[in-house]
Chains A and B, each alone.
Chain A
Amino acid sequence: MTTTTAPHHADAPTAEHVHDAHDAHEQSFFTKYLWSTDHKVIGFQYMITGLLMAIIGGYMAYGFRMQLAWPGEWIPGVGFLSSGRYNAFITTHGTVMIFWFAMPVLIAAFGNWLIPLMTGCDDMAFPRINRLSYQVFLISAVVLIGSFFVDGGAFGGAWTAYPPLSSKATMNLTPLGSTLWVVAVALEFVAFLLGGINFITTAMNARAPGMSMMNIPIVVWMIVVASILFMVSVGPLVAGAAMLVFDQQLGTHFFDPGQGGDPILWQHLFWFFGHPEVYVVLLPAMGICAEIITCNARKKFFGYKTLIYTVFATGIISFFVWAHHQFVAGIDPRMANVFTITTLIISIPIAEMLFLFIATLAGGQIRLNVPMLWALSFVAEFLLGGVTGIFLGASGSDIYFHDTYFVIAHFHYTFVPIAVIACFAGFTHWIPKMTGRMMNETIGKLHFWFTIIGFNLVFLPLFITGAWGDHRRIYNYDHFPDLTNAAMQDLRIASTVGLLIMIAAQGFFVWNLLWTWLKGPPAGDNPWQATTLEWATTSPPGHGNFHPMPTVYRGPYEYSVPGAAADFTPQHLPPA
């Protein structure tokens, strides 16, 4: 077999060169933490920025939930919420949580951390492109936040930005905010394109010797497939975003039906990206939970190859479902029928993945530590989100449920497990590796239970109000007598109380981080007795990650192998 030897090609800026340059002199704070090409530092940058943005997104949610529970009253920390600001809060909450929290943390932060460590290489394939990726991402976040301070305020046309509301300043009343919103989203896409090229190339080309395609840990596969999905679905939306900016600022009429344009066209381009995007964030979350469940069930993952093929199937089918967002937009009903069927079909591979998780748990010696609690709750809560999606995927029932709080509840039952639960699962599992210190189990469990109780209290009532026909795009229900009966308002208040509990519960996480920083016990190289390569190096890994570079001899999940010395056999351990 002929192989090339160097993990980095001669012309590419190799990690070794960059490291040499760094090691040659004393690093200042700037070069070490802000201008670094080290994948671990960039992972931290993405993670911290993502968490800060999540705080902003959570603040927005706090603002509009308080307004919905007690309309028109003064809100502590926000003040009186005008209808314009309410719209801006809703829009920014959605945009931030998806593009500036879920994606940077799940794909960029965990991808940066885990792909080189789990595949056993010293850095990303293109370290400088990786650095550029974070810098562009940071600029995009600044542009988005800046849009709150321009004339007219931030964009308030929902995260889907349907024209003509988004394209005409006379309608959205945010002449600058709407353009800044589109620009910020476009910059964010550029950042993830640069990052995604890195993830795919690194996982393809820089794997440790002996690591065949079927020896790659699941989470790496998931991030790679998610990146491919993102790459091939984002193009049409970038085209649409460019057209939207031209409509806003140059006076073209791409989306103006009065002048020969077509507003449905935007939905066509947006949802072509929008639905694969769901799987872009879902797959890494699934991968993180798969790692944690296997490790803590002390059992080989049940059906590794099945899972990989299921992921491919999900990726392919995810391109056939996107028009189910447009059932009431006036699309061809025959097309709606086709998309109903494909939408029901895609629930099969997703269900299969969850069954594989459950089969992995069956008969295992389960350790109920904090990461495992999060991973198990992911399976349970995501199941609720998935099952309620069936109602919305069927075009008949969707005509009734469309634009009600049922949609909100369904969506959040998928996205909160993805973005919040899986993120915390990943943090609690890998923070010992990232920082070299163990987290506190008791505080972690308190954090877990309060977050889960709060989360369910937020969204279970919304299923009920949604089924009662509660319309979602309403600022003050006092103006809609049909929707202001006492039972509905009680449920809205319950939901807001749930949100307050959920926000307060994050105090435990901050406390836990501080505790870990100040007096966390040292973690050692492999605190969870796990098998994948990242546990073969020191915690935290130094420059170059591995000394010496590892060689892989077996699959990633060799737990409880009969006849083995320990109940786990790491990938890099030579056969006896």
Chain B
Amino acid sequence: MTAISAPMMPLEVKGGAEPPARRQLVSSATLGMLIFIAVELMFFAGLISAFTIVKSTAPPGAWPPPGQPRLPLELTGITTLVLLCSGALAWLSWRAFSRRAATARVTRPLVAALVLGASFVVVQGVEWLRLVGEGLTMRASTYGSFFYMIVGAHALHALAGLAALAWCWRRHAAGRLAPSSFAAVLALWTFVVALWPALYAVVYL
């Protein structure tokens, strides 16, 4: 019943005595996710704008504020690469899935993406604990407030994305993963991954 006619998105093509067709350029799940991503993109655009403005009001030499710990530039640079790898692996998994490859070829990159994504979040969490210990808290300065606000918001999205990937993995293991759901989850994870380098450049550099 299902025939994959376009590389990007599998389409269902039915024949027979069905009622006349309703045209769908993209599945409802993916379209809904794209709209949701638009909202999230603007949420982060608002945070970045706020950060830029507050940063510009600081007197010269006072950003980051003296006495506040520096952010872990190098370590986060490495975890950024890890997260990007996770995104690439998720796409590999999707490619195998849309070509109807064997289950293992879908599952292996998917699980690897999950593990890499989870390790990104865990390293972030450990770094947070260290920074809080060194005196960078939400109340200490607007610098700290924005750091936890922006990075924390991204971490929440990453957790949601990981949960969605894990859900895809379980559904696929049960053989019940619909292409449109996978595409929607992939769109979310791609957003989370692609957003991070921008946030890294704004907040850390």
A residues in contact (CB < 8 Å) with B: 1-12, 121, 125-126, 129, 193, 196-198, 200-201, 204-210, 228, 231-240, 242-243, 246, 250-254, 257, 259-262, 264-265, 268-269, 272, 548-549, 551
Contact = CB atoms under 8 A, between A and B. Distances in A.
A239 B43 contact: yes
Given A125-B28, A126-B32, A232-B42, A251 B178 contact: no
B28 A3 contact: no
Interface string B25-48: 111110110011011111111110
A4 B21 contact: yes
Contact of B142 (A121, A208, A250, A253): A253
Contacts of A126: 28, 32
Contact of A236 (B25, B35, B42): B42
B145 A246 contact: yes
A12 B24 CA distance: 14
A260 B54 contact: yes
B22 A3 contact: yes
Given A10-B178, A205-B28, A231-B39, 5 more contacts: A9-B27, A193-B36, A235-B43, A240-B50, A269-B50
B31 A205 contact: yes
Contacts of A261: 54, 142
A551 B20 contact: yes
A11 B53 contact: no
Nearest to B141: A260
Contacts of B45: 235-236
Given A6-B12, A235-B41, A269-B49, A252 B139 contact: yes
Contacts of A252: 138-139, 142, 145
* Most chain B CB inside 10 Å of its own CB: which residue of A5, A129, A205, A242: A5
Contacts of A236: 42-43, 45-46, 49
A264 to B, nearest CB: 8
A208 B24 CA distance: 11
B149 interface: yes
A254 to B, nearest CB: 6
Contacts of A251: 139
B13 interface: yes
Contact of A201 (B35, B39, B40): B35
B142 A268 contact: no
Contacts of A4: 11-14, 21-24, 27
B149 A243 contact: yes
A264 B53 CA distance: 10
A8 B28 contact: yes
A262 B145 CA distance: 13
A263 B28 CA distance: 40
Given A5-B14, A243-B149, A232 B38 contact: yes
Contacts of B66: none
A228 to B, nearest CB: 8
User: Is the interface on chain B under 10, 10 to 19, 20 to 34, or 35 or more residues?
Assistant: 35 or more
Contacts of A209: 19-23
Interface string B47-88: 101100110011000000100000000000000000000000
A5 B138 contact: no
Contacts of B181: 11
B22 A196 contact: no
Contact of B46 (A3, A235, A259, A264): A235
Contact of A9 (B19, B29, B35, B142): B29
B180 A11 contact: yes
B142 A260 contact: yes
B101 to A, nearest CB: 20
Contact of B138 (A233, A246, A257, A548): A246
Given A4-B13, A253-B142, A261-B142, A231 B38 contact: yes
Given A201-B32, A269-B46, A5 B12 contact: yes
Given A3-B23, A201-B32, A260-B57, A237 B46 contact: yes
Contact of A208 (B22, B35, B41, B53): B22
Contacts of A210: 20
A259 B141 CA distance: 8
B35 A235 contact: no
Contacts of A237: 46
A206 B146 CA distance: 42
Contacts of B38: 231-232
16 contacts: A2-B5, A4-B27, A5-B22, A7-B22, A10-B178, A11-B29, A12-B180, A125-B32, A129-B32, A198-B32, A204-B24, A204-B26, A234-B39, A236-B43, A253-B145, A268-B53
A251 B38 CA distance: 30
Contacts of B11: 2, 4
Nearest to B19: A549
A9 B181 CA distance: 9
* Most chain A CB inside 10 Å of its own CB: which residue of B18, B23, B29, B142: B23
